[in-house]
Amino acid sequence: MKRVLTTCPYCGVGCGFYLDVRDGRIVGVIPSKSNSVSKGNLCVKGWHAHEPVQHPDRLKKPLIKENGKFLEVSWERALDYTAKRLKEIKDKYGPDSLAVCTSARCTNEENFVMMKFARAVLGTNNVDHCARTCHVPTVSGLNQSFGSGASTNSYDELPQMDCILIIGSNPTEAHPIVGWRVRTAIDNGAQVIVCDPRKILLAESARFYIQHYPGSDIALINAMINYIVTNNLHDKEFIHARTEGFNELWEMVKDYTPESVKDITGVEPELLKQAAKLYATSKKSCIMYSLGITEHTVGTNNVISMANLAMITGHVGKEFSGVYPMRGQNNVQGSCDMGALPNVYSGYQPVTDEQARKRFETAWAVRLPSKPGLTLTDMMAKAIEGVLKCFYIIGEDQVRTDPNTHMIERALKSLEFLVIQEIFLSETAKLADVILPGASFAEKDGTFTCAERRFQRVRKAIEPIAGKTDGEIICELSNRLGYQMEPDPKKVCDEMASLTPIYAGVSFERLEENGLQWPVPAKNHPGTPVVHLGKFKRGLGKFIPVKHRPPAEVPDREYPFILSTGRTLFHYNTGTMTRRVTNLLREFPRNFVQINSADAENLGIKRRQKVMVKTRRGELTVEAEVTEKIKKGVLWMPFHFSDEPTNVLTNSAFDPVCKIGEYKACAASISKANL
């Protein structure tokens, strides 16, 4: 038996474990005690991470759709046909008629190769990935405020914090090993503030629990800033030395008193004041947030408000402080870092920057487009309009992931050619013209980058079940289209480092132990656990005034509730992997909706009764979970179940800055189902 050290394929925490392999099959998972992220711990999903890899549902051969049915074909035929159709569409309609969706499930090296394929081979900047549905407001918002759109500090600091403000994040379920770090901090005497419409597990241990309405985050944070400044609790020295724009911020937030926002937030002013004072006066304070902040039509501004609060108190740019955006997928941080976005190359170098573009053109020996491409949101709209003709999607189930399912299905059915690279027959894959079977994390070498900016190794434990890694598939297509590319992950990593100043010191050799946190600007650089020490990446941190704006939909007579969505402990995203793990599916076998006990009583709804949840986009019949833990007037649903798809309900209204959909707040009704 051999034991292979690798990195977990689930959330963005980046836990390390060994895969035990016997006779070419993975037989178990063992946590790595030496891993600096997980320190010998795993969540329930991590313990079962190997099971989907060898599930009988795995796609094992390429498929081409003929007369509405999929036919198994050889790799040769599938790749020849795909390359032929890509060339035909590019020649007929131009390069911007094609688009690529890379995958946060894939390695950094595969994302780099895929964004290179889009730009150097197809000739388009129409490349994006699932950050568009989760944390692209973090990239945009923190970049505007700090100059860098990533976590400022390291997990190791969490147990030593005095105060942790958790807002729009449920770490014990969505990021359990970070949740364990928070629990350790509490055991060490830290005081926690939880702001969430649901009384999550950590709220039970919180010094203050603030149960605000979905979509009221900016009003809440502005009121905290108002109280902090009014009561002289702000860090004047830090503000003077390291920031700009304070006066403009104060002019705006001075009207956001705790009393004035009560009707917006549903929070008692005294509770808000006490929480603000605790965060401001604690010596070691940090903010932790996740999709409850980003997945709004004001997602970017929500993130900016986090930065404003951190800077107003001086709780950033030093150890034992900072802003922790908890990233959703195992390599969504890395996918962004690798330039799998329509406006940047690797290392967030703008495609509009002539100097950066020339550097890539020289290395790749090809002219590159200078105009930013389409976001995923725009791609769907352009497909419906008939402008986008071809979509190549890797490891992403748009039909079940994106808001407003029916609109997404319409967009994908409007394409002339849809290529899906997947390990399972997802709902999106069912619409494809060609399916190329990809490889799981256990079948490839490379790196992932977790939410604390840490590059970590991914190591192949078994041979690819379908015969090829995702990087090999992309490179073979590229070669057929006349542009030679090399899939070797070590060489790709070296190429990426040579073109990306903030990753210049990254290499496979240096990642053999516990990885490196970027920036790593030189071969002898030790990595950067804390960023913005001494000065921000942009020079001075920038206060940006942001106003409260309600969600695109608010409750009314027909739809009197606010519906929000999220993840549970036992499942992950659309459940493509976790629903194929018997022990996990047993714990949560079906979809449900949480409703406040008083609301349920008023509507005559009983526990586990079948109810119909309805929005302007669709309806869904699920079981009711009657609970005191959800705020009155709010409904909450997970989105893990393909046969009961929550996103038929959610709103595709989007943030105008970064085009993320509003998963966390839409108007809904609920009633007893007529069965």
pLDDT at 44: 96
Model confidence over 163-209: pLDDT tens digits? 999 999 999 999 999 999 999 999 999 999 999 999 999 999 999 99
Mean pLDDT of the region 538-544:
98
* pLDDT band, very low/low/confident/very high, at 155 (cuts 50, 70, 90): very high
- Give, in order, the Cα–Cα distances in Å from 40 to each of 31, 134, 397: 5, 28, 32
Distance (Å, whole) CA 647 – CA 639: 7
Domain boundaries 2-54, corresponding CATH code: 2.20.25.90
- Among 312, 317, 278, 284, residue whose Cα is nearest residue 158: 284
> What does the pLDDT read at residue 162?
99
Average pLDDT over residues 368-382: 97
Q: Picking from 221-225, 309-313, 383-387, 659-663, which range would have the lowest pLDDT averaged per residue?
A: 659-663
CB atoms within 10 A of CB 67: 5
pLDDT at 675 over 80: no
- How much is the pLDDT for 573? 85
**For the domain 561-672, what is the CATH code?**
2.40.40.20
State the DSSP H helix or E strand holding residue 143, giving kind and residue range, or none if neither: helix 136-146
Residue 328 has pLDDT above 90, yes or no: no
Interval 125-134: pLDDT, tens: 999 998 898 8
* Fold of the domain spanning 63-134+330-439+466-473: Rossmann fold (3.40.50)
572 pLDDT tier (thresholds 50, 70, 90): confident
Q: pLDDT, tens digit, for every residue of 58-85?
A: 999 999 999 999 999 999 999 999 999 9
Per residue in 482-530, pLDDT (tens digit) is 999 999 999 999 999 999 999 999 999 999 878 999 999 999 999 999 9
CA distance linking residue 508 with residue 512, whole number of Å: 7
Q: Provide the mean pLDDT of the chain.
A: 97
Tell me: pLDDT of 674 over 90.
no
Question: Which of 233-243 are b and which e, b meaning 16 or more Cβ less than 10 Å from the residue's Cβ?
Answer: ebbeebbeebb
Q: Fold match between 2-54 and 136-325? A: no
Delimit the domains of the chain by residue range. Answer: 2-54, 63-134+330-439+466-473, 136-325, 561-672
Does the pLDDT value for residue 561 go beyond 80? yes
CB of 107 closer than 8 Å to CB of 489: yes
pLDDT in tens, 580-614: 999 999 998 999 999 999 999 999 999 999 999 99
Tell me the fold of 136-325: Dimethylsulfoxide Reductase; domain 2 (3.40.228)
pLDDT greater than 80 at residue 574: yes
For the cut 80, the answer to whether the pLDDT of residue 245 exceeds it is: yes
3-state SS assignment for residue 295: coil
